[in-house]
Chains A and B, each alone.
Chain A
Amino acid sequence: MATAPEIDAPADPLEAFRSEAREWLAANFDPDLRGKDNSMSAVEGPNDDTPEQAAWKNAIGAKGWSVPTWPKEYGGGGLSRAEARVLQEEMAKVGAWNPMGGSMGVMMFGPTLLEYGTEEQKQEHIPPIVRGELRWCQGYSEPGAGSDLASLQCFAEDHGDHYVVNGQKTWTSGGQWADKCFMLVRTDKSKKHEGITFLLCDMTSPGVEVKPIQLISGSSPFCETFFTDVKVPKGNRVGAEGQGWTIGKRLLQHERNSLGGGGSSASRLFAGAPLSALAKKYVGVDAEGRIADGELRSKIIKHEMDMRAFALTLRRVQLDAKSNSGPSAATSIMKNVGARIMQERSELLIEIRGMAGLGWEGEGFDEDALKDTRHWLFGKAVSIYGGSSEIQNNVIAKRILGMLDHQ
């Protein structure tokens, strides 16, 4: 089984921090919680935390290590990147996971607010994200504005000290469980990109209505969200009126980084049994002990090699970031490659297990196989959301390769 290669060993000054992290984990992370990760609850819905899970969440939230590199004054860990890596290594060693790691507040909204928010907004919103007390959802896409996000229509009308918002959002991940929504609205119909503003809306405001969308995987992690005369105070505007597109794009960068290369999705990619072992179990072996089906064997090899190359690229991107030579161009390929490999793996799991890999529910299937069926279907979204693979290819072609639009 390929694992993401280890980043080079930390230099000596970090060793003191390493012992600190180790001691703190020993005191706060219950080894029984190994593998009981609930970080997907952001989109899959709140699961009732056991008292042990809740205690772990409280401990890491209070310490600020749910967001180790965020500034201390807003409750973050205040660690350097190097220290954060050490923490990650130590957490991996004991099987500790970050309960807030997959949340939209941590992955997307928080970093953006830290960059663009007022002092007051940061004081108000960042600490609850760090402690995992509030759930955020994203109000970007609309029925007529998916990949062409800038044609969004949801309108916020200026009423002096507040805006009145009318319109519809869709694909609101976790909308039915969210407390707050960061959203892009139109404040000027005469301009396209410059007419967009970034607002923070309370999901309990009168006039907000959510309707879950059922997916092919059977789950409903997304909602249609309707806004009817919803009042949003002006103090909930991030940045200036009309600056929303710039801020919103910055947030999408955070999203892409976390989807493509970042912690949670990458670690999920490398989790699970090696496909070769599973194939031997289901398909059998030939006289030389190899996977009996030659073509399937070839596909699995190609997949494993792709995965290794991806892991090496991930490492290269991290090293580049560390060397301060600026973000590597390789960053732009991470989302597409990550999506391709994840989907390839799901398809191979079905091919390996045959009918046993297509179980929907009930008797006669093992739990992993049932999970993999849902993951196969849910995973089709990875190449669609956060900028589809085609949009990512447009970005590579235009921004990196300098290819042009029609004149």
Chain B
Amino acid sequence: MAILTEEQTMLRDMAREWADNESPVTAFRKMRDAAPAEMFDAEAWKAQAEMGWAGILVPEAQGGVEMGFVSLGAVLEQLGRTLTATPLAATSAATAAIVLGGSEAQKAAWLPRIASGEVVATLAVDEGPRFAPDRISASVSGGKLSGTKEFVTEGDSAGLFVVAAADGLYLVAGDDAGVSRSARYLADSRSHAQVVFDGAAAEKLADGGADLLIKVTDRAAAATCAEMLGMAEAAFAQTNDYLKTRVQFGQVLASFQALQHRMAKMFTELELMRSAVEGAFEAIDANRPDVPQSVSLAKAIAGDTLNLVSREMVQLHGGIGMTDEHDAGFYLKRARVLETMWGNASWHRERFARLGGY
């Protein structure tokens, strides 16, 4: 663990306790079975906002606590452990966009409402099934935005969209008449909507510089990595616990060396994953020039590691891991979605190579 301040440690411990007690995996199961339109538990989101989490990236002047990415990561990691269905990651990514690129008026208009939990916000970037920030055709003319965004996280409930258009990032209110949404049900039972902008009123984020989109998607990827870290940690721990109880051939599975070595291998990869992911948060908080490399390192390693751990979770649980009654499937399905979001491992390795001049 990166060295946390006392404040950050308290925040992390509070998040862990809350996730364990108030939002265990059974809560996710309940949400899935109830399938509310927004695909998260509105009460739980309210509780998160009351604890100040929606305002972690929001400056104090706009009602937030401005604690940065190491803090946000610590919270998202804990929520990832129990698969908490929360719009916190998406909202944080959109928040980062406004903090980095918004005018004072834009900040004043949106950030207090985000910090209070009143508004769920999200990024709308991709126009196809794969992350492709260099292929944006949505366009704005006379303050009206048109284009179709695919698989927008929390697209069903977002009250604010930060939309990538060909010439920059724009803010679009969710209740604008030019916005229409269609749910896309993915394997992870979370919210991913197609959002059509048809002449929606759009305000440009003008202060963020030419590479604002990259800066913002890097922060979105880092937030995703935090959730992935928590998921991998929990999937691994549950698998380890299971191996200690399941008896075959008169022995607990945990006593078989072939399985011990697979667990040791996963543990090793998990430690490397934690270093890479925390390294990205630190790079972002320090505003270091190597944020893109650090994020690509984190997302690539996080993707590979979570992929491994989620597959092994099912395999090592045997038949029970194949049943819907067991949680293993939840981790497997959510894992692939997060791996794909904001660039999969191959995409980030390729970018890392390009940045390094390979």
Distance to closest chain B CB from A11 (angstroms): 14
CA–CA, A286 and B32, complex, Å: 49
A276 touches B358 (CB 8 A): yes
CA–CA, A246 and B106, complex, Å: 65
A residues 334-375 with Cβ under 8 Å of B?
A: 336-337
- Is B182 an interface residue when CB atoms closer than 8 A count as contact? no
B261 touches A302 (CB 8 A): no
- Is B218 an interface residue when CB atoms closer than 8 A count as contact? no
CB-contact partner of B272 in A289, A313, A392, A404, under 8 A:
A313
A394 touches B353 (CB 8 A): no
Distance to closest chain A CB from B340 (angstroms): 19
B358 touches A297 (CB 8 A): yes
**Residues of chain A contacted by B26 (CB below 8 angstroms):** none
- Is B300 an interface residue when CB atoms closer than 8 A count as contact? yes
**Residues of chain B contacted by A291 (CB below 8 angstroms):** 358
**Residues of chain B contacted by A297 (CB below 8 angstroms):** 353, 358
**By DSSP majority rule, is chain B's interface helix, strand, loop, or mixed?**
helix
CA–CA, A330 and B2, complex, Å: 12
**Residues of chain A contacted by B105 (CB below 8 angstroms):** none
B residues 33-56 with Cβ under 8 Å of A?
A: none
Nearest CB in chain A to that of B300: its residue: A305
CA–CA, A88 and B274, complex, Å: 26
Q: Which of B83-91, B116-124, B186-194, B263-271 binds A?
A: B263-271
A residues 246-262 with Cβ under 8 Å of B?
A: none
A276 touches B278 (CB 8 A): no
CA–CA, A239 and B230, complex, Å: 45
CA–CA, A407 and B297, complex, Å: 42
A393 touches B261 (CB 8 A): yes
A398 touches B297 (CB 8 A): no
Nearest CB in chain A to that of B271: its residue: A330
B residues 293-344 with Cβ under 8 Å of A?
A: 297, 300-301
A404 touches B358 (CB 8 A): no
The size class of the interface chain B forms with chain A is: 35 or more
- Is B356 an interface residue when CB atoms closer than 8 A count as contact? yes
CB-contact partner of A305 in B240, B244, B263, B301, under 8 A:
B301
CA–CA, A405 and B255, complex, Å: 5
Distance to closest chain A CB from B291 (angstroms): 14
Distance to closest chain B CB from A324 (angstroms): 11
**Residues of chain B contacted by A394 (CB below 8 angstroms):** 257, 260-261, 264
Nearest CB in chain A to that of B247: its residue: A407
B2 touches A403 (CB 8 A): no
A residues 312-344 with Cβ under 8 Å of B?
A: 312-313, 315-316, 319-320, 322-323, 329-330, 333, 336-337
Nearest CB in chain A to that of B241: its residue: A402
CB-contact partner of B260 in A276, A305, A330, A393, under 8 A:
A393
Q: A309-B297, A394-B257, A402-B244 are in contact. Are A316 and B349 (CB under 8 A)?
A: no
- Is A401 an interface residue when CB atoms closer than 8 A count as contact? yes
CA–CA, A236 and B300, complex, Å: 53
- Is B251 an interface residue when CB atoms closer than 8 A count as contact? yes
**Residues of chain B contacted by A398 (CB below 8 angstroms):** 260
A393 touches B2 (CB 8 A): no
- Is A397 an interface residue when CB atoms closer than 8 A count as contact? yes
- Is A65 an interface residue when CB atoms closer than 8 A count as contact? no
B residues 277-298 with Cβ under 8 Å of A?
A: 278-279, 297
- Is B18 an interface residue when CB atoms closer than 8 A count as contact? no
Distance to closest chain B CB from A386 (angstroms): 16
A403 touches B260 (CB 8 A): yes
Distance to closest chain B CB from A279 (angstroms): 8
- Is A306 an interface residue when CB atoms closer than 8 A count as contact? yes
A residues 379-397 with Cβ under 8 Å of B?
A: 390, 392-394, 396-397
CA–CA, A337 and B263, complex, Å: 15
**Residues of chain B contacted by A290 (CB below 8 angstroms):** 353, 358
CA–CA, A310 and B269, complex, Å: 10
A401 touches B240 (CB 8 A): yes
Nearest CB in chain B to that of A8: its residue: B3
Nearest CB in chain B to that of A315: its residue: B275
B residues 218-262 with Cβ under 8 Å of A?
A: 240, 243-244, 251-252, 254-255, 257, 259-261
CA–CA, A22 and B353, complex, Å: 37
CA–CA, A308 and B299, complex, Å: 13
Distance to closest chain A CB from B187 (angstroms): 27
B275 touches A309 (CB 8 A): yes
- Is B357 an interface residue when CB atoms closer than 8 A count as contact? yes
CA–CA, A24 and B279, complex, Å: 35
CB-contact partner of A333 in B243, B261, B268, B278, under 8 A:
B268
- Is A301 an interface residue when CB atoms closer than 8 A count as contact? yes
Q: A301-B352, A404-B252 are in contact. Are A397 and B276 (CB under 8 A)?
A: no
CB-contact partner of A401 in B252, B264, B279, B350, under 8 A:
B264
B2 touches A337 (CB 8 A): no
**Residues of chain A contacted by B240 (CB below 8 angstroms):** 401-403
- Is A210 an interface residue when CB atoms closer than 8 A count as contact? no
CB-contact partner of A320 in B1, B252, B264, B265, under 8 A:
B1
Q: A305-B349, A306-B272 are in contact. Are A403 and B356 (CB under 8 A)?
A: no
CA–CA, A392 and B264, complex, Å: 9
**Residues of chain A contacted by B278 (CB below 8 angstroms):** 312, 316
- Is A406 an interface residue when CB atoms closer than 8 A count as contact? yes
Q: Mark A293-312, 1 if CB is under 8 A from B, else 0.
A: 00001101110111011101
CA–CA, A337 and B265, complex, Å: 10
CB-contact partner of B297 in A308, A330, A336, A403, under 8 A:
A308
A393 touches B358 (CB 8 A): no
- Is A215 an interface residue when CB atoms closer than 8 A count as contact? no
B358 touches A403 (CB 8 A): no
A319 touches B3 (CB 8 A): yes
**Residues of chain A contacted by B243 (CB below 8 angstroms):** 403
Q: A301-B352, A402-B244 are in contact. Are A397 and B263 (CB under 8 A)?
A: yes
Distance to closest chain A CB from B297 (angstroms): 5
A330 touches B358 (CB 8 A): no
Distance to closest chain A CB from B283 (angstroms): 10
CA–CA, A118 and B170, complex, Å: 73
Distance to closest chain B CB from A306 (angstroms): 7
CB-contact partner of B264 in A279, A301, A312, A393, under 8 A:
A393
Give 15 CB contacts A-B under 8 Å: A301-B353, A301-B358, A304-B356, A309-B273, A309-B297, A312-B276, A313-B275, A316-B275, A319-B2, A396-B263, A397-B260, A397-B264, A403-B263, A404-B252, A407-B251
B interface list, Cβ under 8 A from A = 1-3, 240, 243-244, 251-252, 254-255, 257, 259-261, 263-265, 267-268, 271-276, 278-279, 297, 300-301, 349-350, 352-353, 356-358
Known: A394-B260, A396-B268. 19 other contacts (CB 8 A): A291-B358, A300-B358, A301-B358, A305-B352, A306-B272, A308-B297, A309-B275, A312-B275, A313-B274, A313-B275, A315-B275, A316-B275, A329-B271, A393-B261, A394-B257, A396-B264, A401-B263, A402-B244, A403-B244
